[in-house]
Amino acid sequence: MSNVLVITTSLRAKSNSDVLADCLVRGAKDAGNDVELISLKGKELRFCIGCLSCQKTQTCVLRDDAVRIAEKVKNADTLVFVTPIYYYEMCGQMKTLLDRLNPLFPSDYRFRKVYMLSVAAEEEDEVPEKAVSGLQGWVDCFEKAELAGSLFCGGITSPGEASDKNDAQARAYQFGKNVE
């Protein structure tokens, strides 16, 4: 059993990312994991100012919701990021959060496995490549961690459309069952 932290990054109400994240969470719980879901909706995340104070203090000088999220990330065994794909890349708020997790770099973080679930209107296999590469770049900075897997659900356009996509829901559920 792992302590799994799922972070959904879409800010859209009734987002397709959230629908599939819920399926993933059910799968991860059914596999026996302890799962917490955090949504970035309503959270205040300021941009990293690049001061690097966090490399000495292991805490950010900015006081917003990223500080509390970073503490949860640090103490999770497994991370799952859920993002819509915008312009063939992870959404901006996910990138902002990854930047703000810089205080974890010199810390004694617990996470070892990192996963990503991405959703887009486009269906081609190459659509999530840049988002996966961006997350891989972040993971590469944490020598004890690995990008353990990703799932792309394409062809989902309108808000809430994932609610009608049983195949995507089943894939997200199974992906969650395989998260360790």
pLDDT of residue 157: 86
- Model confidence over 18-55: pLDDT tens digits? 999 999 999 999 999 999 999 999 999 999 999 999 99
- For the chain, which residues score pLDDT lower than 50? none
pLDDT of residue 53: 95
Under 8 Å between Cβ of 10 and 19: no
Pull the structure tokens for residue 171: 């894939």
pLDDT of residue 160: 84
pLDDT of residue 13: 86
pLDDT of residue 50: 95
Output the CA torsion 163→156→95→127 (10° steps).
Answer: 150
In sequence order, which residues have a C-beta less than 8 Å from that of residue 72 and are 6 or more positions away?
5, 36, 38
For every residue of the chain, which 3-state class applies, written as one string? CCEEEEEECCCCCCCHHHHHHHHHHHHHHHCCCEEEEEECCCCCCCCCCCCCCHHHHCCCCCCCHHHHHHHHHHHCCEEEEEEEEECCEECHHHHHHHHHCHHHCCCCCCCCEEEEEEECCCCCCCCCHHHHHHHHHHHCCCCCCEEEEEEEECCCCCCCHHHHCHHHHHHHHHHHHHCC
pLDDT of residue 12: 92
The pTM of the full predicted model, rounded to 2 decimals, is 0.97
Q: How far apart are CA 146 and CA 150, in angstroms?
A: 12
In the chain, what are the domains?
Answer: 3-178 (3.40.50.360)
Max CA distance (Å), the chain: 48
